[in-house]
Structure 1
Amino acid sequence: MKKVGQKIRRVLNTRMGFFVLAIVLFWLKTWWTYLNKFNLGAKGSVQEFLLMVNPIPTAILLFGIALYLAGRKSYIFMLVIDFITSFWLYANVLYYREFSDFLSINLIKGSSAVSNNLGKSVLGIMEPTDFLVFLDVAILILLLAFKLIRMDIRPIKKRYAFTVTGISIMLFGFNLAFAQSDRPGLLTRTFDNNYIVKYLGLNTYTVYDGVKTATSNAAKKNANASDLRSIENYIKENKVPVNTEYTGVAKDKNVIIFHLESFQQFLIDFKWDGQEVTPNLNKLYHAEDTLSFDNFFNQVGTGKTADAEMMLENSLFGLAEGPAMVQYGTTNTFQAAPAILDQNGYTTASFHGDVPSFWNRDNTYKSWGYDYFFSSSYYQQKSSYSIGYGLKDKIFLKDSAQYLEKLPQPFYAKLITVTNHYPYLLDKQNQSIAKTDTGDSTVDGYVQTAKYLDQAVGEFMTWLEDSGLAKNTMVVFYGDHYGISGNHKKAVAKLLGKETFNNFDDAQFQRVPLMIHMPGLKGGVNHTYSGEIDVLPTLLNLLGVKNDDTIQFGQDILSPEKNQTVAFRNGDFVSPTYTKVGNTYYDTSTGKEIKKPNATVKQTLEDMTNHVATELSLSDSVITGDLLRFYTPNGFDTVNKSDYSYKKSTALKKLKKNQGENSIYSENGDKTTTDLYKTDAPELSK
């Protein structure tokens, strides 16, 4: 045993031995921190393995730089690198504890962004075990100080240093390949910073964030106010008059936006196993005081839900690659619905039963001007309460009522549901309809989660009536994106009772619901071709809010002069006359391919294609160049992000202070209306 100890000590007294010890200690410390200080949600053996090993490649790369240095400098460099990376880890531990997210370069650069978020609360959120992130640094320093390990000042051959660098790059390549196999599009379609750290590690996230920041900053640096001229000209040329019959019909009404996750239009009135899949939404769709749109299309790209939110709140398209909310939401200037309505006397809030960092909502919502963001920490959490991407809809909506009833009226509130999300899993106790029988596991569970969502909506709408909120509220329902992709054509054909399902059919399949419901509203089914880009100008007209000089690419759907060419993010389009998929054009009324168009049709198709390309390109330039910083509509005040905090204690204190200002809670004699909320969620009866 003594000989073994001597051998180990001899190895550690070499520079390579000390290097290996430093790597091992750093790895163990970081892995421990991942497991105990962050909530990265590793599920399954692949994710757990990657979470365990992902600190190793970058640690070898960074510490390995020391091997290129001579003598004592090599040891000092290793200790400095260890301290710097440990301090960065420590800073993220503190920030994550408050905001369930990781520090970014933009947050640090953003004047007082970090100090506003942490500030005086740092001492209050520290825990003694946080300092264990420096334990490996202390151990290495003590081992050298007490000469339990002696510095080896002999030179190391450069080829050994190069070999170590090569090993680190190779290991990172394996790490990235495994990560991409488990989460395709990890770096191109960033959902959440937690995902990057979970799969690739904190150090890799830092580099990734730096590259992303440098790229976006370069585009912004080259942009100037003159770039807005072509955009302003386009907006002016394509402006259509609003439908004056509907102007201001919902003035000063509350607005509740129902974000229906992955919900497609075909589900309306769809029956399976002898029953309606969505009876509550069907009833709303056909109600005489609901404006329903049966040719309303999702227009999302790779950002999917994030793209849908960008269009809904800003009338700007998502980007061709990656979600704009993640890439630009923290730093860009926006003139979004929450800020517009806030400056017109509304209280604004978003509700979501998942972590606030998903899609960078915790930062983007400040840029958009949301007064409140009620995310996962505001809701009671039990393992049985969540599935997939957050709280089950019935539990989420019921728990949201306690905050909704205290919002000063009028308010603008967005409720983001998540249960009807791929891969459409639902525990048996909540299933109330059989799966479909296409034989496609992705498709067949879709009706079960859709029905569950519909039931949750029904419960919420009953409470809205019983609480008294319904009489003064406009409720908007919209599907954010497709639920079943074009990769399941055979199953979709069987589901819809069609013999075939081709690319044209898939383009038409991108319809999602849009319903605007309000007591006394002149309703009916509107057949205008429109998309998510058109929602904001339509709502602002209904609310009677000035909207004549904003940079918005949508048009009032109710306008008789609306352009009905609906752009898809990839440059394809649908319209009442023609549909484009790739390089192929179709007659929309027949679904037949247009193979030999005459000169008139050919010119029309060219004009429509160019219109779509121009629209997408100009919208992209607004975001990538942060062009709205150069333009402010008359009467609009630029959003100051530092005015907003979504910290639970701060928000609840603010809500309590303001709830007496005309909330339904105050109207009810400062008594809650949540006892009127009835749900059959089995988890709550246990």
Structure 2
Amino acid sequence: MKSIVVLILVSFFVSCKGIVAKQEVKVDVKPNILFIAVDDLRPELNFYGANHIKSPNLDKLAASSLVFNRAYCNIPVCGASRASLLTGTRPTRNRFLGYSTTKDKDYPTAVSLPMLLKQNGYKTISNGKIYHYENDDVTAWNEIWKADELWSYALQESQEIRKNTFRGLPFESADVHDSVYVDGKLALKVIRDLQKLKTSKEPFFLTMGVVKPHLPFCAPKKYWDLYDRKSIELPASYLRPKSIPKTAYHNFGELRNYENIPKDGDLPEALAKELIHGYYAAVSYADAQIGLVLDELEKTGLAENTIVVLWGDHGWNLGDHKMWSKHVNFETALRAPLLIKVPGRTKGEMSNDITEFIDIYPTLCDLTGLKIPNTVEGKSFVPIINGEKSEKNWAVSKFKDGVTLIKGDLFYTEWTDKNGVAYERMLFNHKTDALELDNLAEKPKYKKLVTQLSLELREKWGTDFFKKK
């Protein structure tokens, strides 16, 4: 969005003739940005065609936003995904590898999005989980706030279990007020910020890093009560076809670290459905907190000049391919929600253009009139906001040795060694196999296509893919 031009009429008297004249003075007003990150959020929402998760506030936001139906994270693990997005740069074999990634260690010379905005007069506030670690890229922020992680659980007994175990319980339903949990406290903090910022002359980059629906699935009881567990079904993709290489799967250690979860094998069906129930409840709880903030944005009058971006840092498996958590190269972990509301320019459109998370940084540069740093590898999707077709209709995502090219209906993954030599392959055609159950990569009739996609993957995974830090 170009800077908004405010016309100030200045009246002055010309005493000698007694004439009143008016002069137009142009003042550039930069748009504000409300930046909402939601941890582990699947695009399993009403505006994506699902109808079982209750998220009225996200639905309302989508109705005035441009919704990306095919947005992909560049790496399905929180720390790395966030560092990649906030620098606009791709993961490589040596950069942005896991949850413990920090921007400061992996790419200290890159100018991050919040740093660029701060350097150009924006007040930058980090609330909640934006980077994985609150002490990462600290000079980019005017203020950093994060709630105590103790508040992951509301009940005393759950807190005691957490103190005496590695992770604690995988879910909790407590009859408490929303503000008892972390995200309730987060919403109140962001609301206080909006109330302060409404009188500020500085543009702002205000963030809201929502923790839920990340494990543990803890939410006030009223959100659990929105769902009938008897109606919850396991996903249609709750199987592991033999055509898919074992490399593609994992033992979902993230979930198994919680209490009362079997250490190996499939989960009991009742437990699997309870986890799905907990995930739904956590999404509805997160939705309510986001709604409070969006309502305050309207009440303060700031919505008229505030771009709202909402994204999930990656997808999450809810029994898909008999897996839980992220950390895989299936679409369930790579595809995530992305919405952008630009005042006066978005009205609830849905884009099917393929978009990567590294494209968010240059887009916000274009919308705020800032020069895109040369380290940024993403491409602005402002043309899509303007109703045009994307010039770059593909994405590349990576996790460990697996690198995935997403192009049209095709999902092509190679697992490569340190020299780039492939040792496993996976190819799905979403036009005929949306659930990714039939791996075409080793079938003779697809050999030519696999060779073509392999070459294209190498062209697109980044020029510094093998570069050391």
* TM-score category, normalised to shorter length: 0.5 to 0.7
What are the ranges of 5 or more consecutive residues in structure 2 without an aligned counterpart?
Answer: 6-28, 168-179, 235-268, 384-388, 415-424
Give a deviation string over 1:277-328, Cα, whole Å, max 9, x none: 21221222133xx111100012224xx2222221221112343633464484
Match of residue 418 from structure 2: none
Structure with the higher fraction of residues in helix conformation: 1
Structure 1 pair 382–558 and aligned structure 2 pair: CA distance change class (3 A)? closer
Match of residue 481 from structure 1: 314
Are residue 545 (structure 1) and residue 323 (structure 2) matched? Answer: no
Distance in 2 separating the partners of 1:261 and 1:561? 27
What are the ranges of 5 or more consecutive residues in structure 1 without an aligned counterpart?
Answer: 1-245, 493-502, 626-686
Match of residue 90 from structure 2: 317
CA RMSD, Structure 1 to Structure 2 (Å): 3.5
Q: Out of 278, 286, 296, which is 2:63 matched to?
A: 286
Match of residue 343 from structure 1: 119
Q: Secondary structure at the match of 1:425?
A: strand
Deviation of residue 255 (structure 1)?
A: 0.1
Give a deviation string over 1:194-226, Cα, whole Å, max 9, x none: xxxxxxxxxxxxxxxxxxxxxxxxxxxxxxxxx
Q: Secondary structure at the match of 1:527?
A: strand
Query: Equivalent pairs: percent with the same residue?
Result: 19
Are the equivalent residues in 1 in contact too, given 2:224–2:277 (CA < 8 A)?
no
Are the equivalent residues in 2 in contact too, given 1:432–1:451 (CA < 8 A)?
no
Are the equivalent residues in 2 in contact too, given 1:385–1:392 (CA < 8 A)?
no
Deviation of residue 602 (structure 1)?
A: 4.6
Are residue 610 (structure 1) and residue 458 (structure 2) matched? Answer: yes
Match of residue 298 from structure 1: 73
Match of residue 654 from structure 1: none
Aligned amino acid, residue 295 of structure 2: T
Match of residue 397 from structure 2: 568
Are the equivalent residues in 1 in contact too, given 2:316–2:332 (CA < 8 A)?
no
Give a deviation string over 1:160-190, Cα, whole Å, max 9, x none: xxxxxxxxxxxxxxxxxxxxxxxxxxxxxxx
Match of residue 366 from structure 1: 138
Superposition pairs of residues 234-253 of structure 1, within 5 angstroms: 252-253=30-31
Give a deviation string over 1:231-272, Cα, whole Å, max 9, x none: xxxxxxxxxxxxxxx555796111010001111112234333
Distance in 2 separating the partners of 1:520 and 1:385? 45
Q: Out of 38, 41, 48, which is 1:260 matched to?
A: 38
Are residue 554 (structure 1) and residue 378 (structure 2) matched? Answer: yes
Are the equivalent residues in 2 in contact too, given 1:565–1:608 (CA < 8 A)?
no
Distance in 2 separating the partners of 1:248 and 1:278? 33
Q: Out of 204, 212, 226, which is 1:419 matched to?
A: 212
Deviation of residue 513 (structure 1)?
A: 1.1
Q: Out of 577, 582, 586, which is 2:428 matched to?
A: 586
Distance in 2 separating the partners of 1:458 and 1:259? 14
Structure 1 pair 437–597 and aligned structure 2 pair: CA distance change class (3 A)? closer
Structure 1 pair 599–247 and aligned structure 2 pair: CA distance change class (3 A)? farther
Match of residue 433 from structure 1: 226
Distance in 2 separating the partners of 1:296 and 1:382? 29
Distance in 1 separating the partners of 2:99 and 2:323? 29
Q: Out of 390, 396, 406, which is 2:186 matched to?
A: 396
Deviation of residue 451 (structure 1)?
A: 0.8
Match of residue 25 from structure 1: none
Structure 1 pair 425–508 and aligned structure 2 pair: CA distance change class (3 A)? closer
Are the equivalent residues in 1 in contact too, given 2:125–2:142 (CA < 8 A)?
yes
Are the equivalent residues in 1 in contact too, given 2:396–2:406 (CA < 8 A)?
yes
Are the equivalent residues in 2 in contact too, given 1:300–1:308 (CA < 8 A)?
yes
Structure 1 pair 329–468 and aligned structure 2 pair: CA distance change class (3 A)? farther
**Number of residue equivalences:** 350
Give a deviation string over 1:118-159, Cα, whole Å, max 9, x none: xxxxxxxxxxxxxxxxxxxxxxxxxxxxxxxxxxxxxxxxxx
Match of residue 520 from structure 1: 344
Structure with the higher fraction of residues in strand conformation: 2
Deviation of residue 391 (structure 1)?
A: 4.3
What TM-score do you get using the length of structure 2 for normalisation? Answer: 0.65
Match of residue 128 from structure 2: 352
Q: Secondary structure at the match of 1:422?
A: coil
Are the equivalent residues in 2 in contact too, given 1:314–1:335 (CA < 8 A)?
yes
Are the equivalent residues in 1 in contact too, given 2:80–2:102 (CA < 8 A)?
no
Structure 1 pair 518–380 and aligned structure 2 pair: CA distance change class (3 A)? farther
What TM-score do you get using the length of structure 1 for normalisation? Answer: 0.46
Which structure has the greater CA radius of gyration? 1
Q: Out of 45, 48, 51, which is 1:271 matched to?
A: 51
Distance in 2 separating the partners of 1:608 and 1:330? 26
Match of residue 449 from structure 2: 601
Distance in 2 separating the partners of 1:334 and 1:599? 39
Aligned amino acid, residue 257 of structure 1: F
Deviation of residue 535 (structure 1)?
A: 1.0
